């Protein structure tokens, strides 16, 4: 069984993915960590030294390889992964168990405002501009996120509740 979690940064993909994998006895894979290991570099360093286009090409290659070669896992993608190249098509063809963890702008602001130093994309965004930045990004990425086979509304839910909801949809 292949399960893929997509959504904006801070939506809980890694947290939910680990719980889900544990409950189902599957491996948990984090695409960003897999890319860093495979490339021998951090993602911020790849962006800085080789540029976003190089990173997105590598992201696409690693995503495709993982989905073709590995079986029985829960995969947490990067927030931008579904939005570039043919990544969403690759994901949708690999499994019907694709879940968009949908979180409101307000909830994302609350979650991410305490994690800014760990998030290069928002590290230098003033707190007062964070809602607008996230809202704009969600608007731009929504088309891709909404192509998941399932959407799970995550506001005001505990991780275990989201895990249970995802498991109820598994094929």
- The answer to the question of residue 113 being in a domain is yes
CATH number, residue 35: 3.40.50.300
- The answer to the question of residue 53 being in a domain is yes
Query: pLDDT per residue over 10-57, tens digit each?
Result: 999 999 999 999 999 999 999 999 999 999 998 888 888 888 889 899
- The answer to the question of residue 121 being in a domain is yes
User: What per-residue confidence (pLDDT) applies to 118?
Assistant: 75
Q: What is the DSSP letter of 115?
A: S
User: What per-residue confidence (pLDDT) applies to 43?
Assistant: 84
Residue range of the domain that includes 39: 2-163
User: What per-residue confidence (pLDDT) applies to 36?
Assistant: 93
61 has pLDDT over 90 = yes
Residue 79 labeled ligand binder: yes
Residue 30 labeled ligand binder: no
Residue 163 labeled ligand binder: no
The CA radius of gyration of the chain, in Å to the nearest whole number, is: 15
Per-residue tokens: 24: 């189902």
Asked whether the beta carbons of 19 and 145 are under 8 A apart, the reply is no
Binned at pLDDT 50, 70 and 90, residue 171 comes out as low
164 has pLDDT over 90 = yes
- The answer to the question of residue 139 being in a domain is yes
Residue 80 labeled ligand binder: no
Query: pLDDT per residue over 105-130, tens digit each?
Result: 999 999 998 887 777 788 888 989 99
Per-residue tokens: 136: 């704009």
User: What per-residue confidence (pLDDT) applies to 48?
Assistant: 82
- The answer to the question of residue 168 being in a domain is no
Distance CA 97, CA 165 (A): 12
- The answer to the question of residue 169 being in a domain is no
- The answer to the question of residue 170 being in a domain is no
Distance CA 33, CA 48 (A): 17
Residue 78 labeled ligand binder: no
Residue 32 labeled ligand binder: yes
Residue 12 labeled ligand binder: yes
Query: pLDDT per residue over 74-103, tens digit each?
Result: 999 999 999 999 999 999 999 999 999 999
Residue 7 labeled ligand binder: no
Overall number of domains in the chain = 1
- The answer to the question of residue 47 being in a domain is yes
Distance CA 121, CA 139 (A): 16
């Amino acid at each position: 069984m292949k399960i893929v979690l997509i959504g904006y940064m801070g939506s809980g993909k890694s947290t939910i993915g680990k719980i889900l994998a544990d409950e189902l006895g599957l491996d948990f894979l984090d695409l960003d960590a897999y890319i860093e290991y495979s490339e021998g570099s951090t993602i911020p360093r790849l962006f800085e030294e080789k540029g976003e286009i190089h990173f997105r090409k590598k992201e696409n290659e690693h995503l495709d390889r993982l989905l073709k070669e590995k079986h029985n896992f829960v995969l947490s993608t990067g927030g931008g992964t579904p939005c570039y190249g043919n990544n969403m098509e690759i994901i949708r063809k690999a499994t019907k168990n694709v879940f968009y963890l949908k979180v409101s702008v307000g909830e994302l602001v609350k979650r991410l405002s305490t994690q800014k130093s760990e998030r290069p994309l928002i590290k230098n965004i003033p707190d007062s501009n964070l809602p607008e930045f996230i809202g704009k990004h969600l608007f731009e990425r929504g088309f891709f996120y909404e192509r998941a086979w399932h959407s799970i509304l995550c506001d005001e839910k505990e991780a275990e509740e989201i895990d249970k909801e995802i498991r109820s949809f598994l094929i």
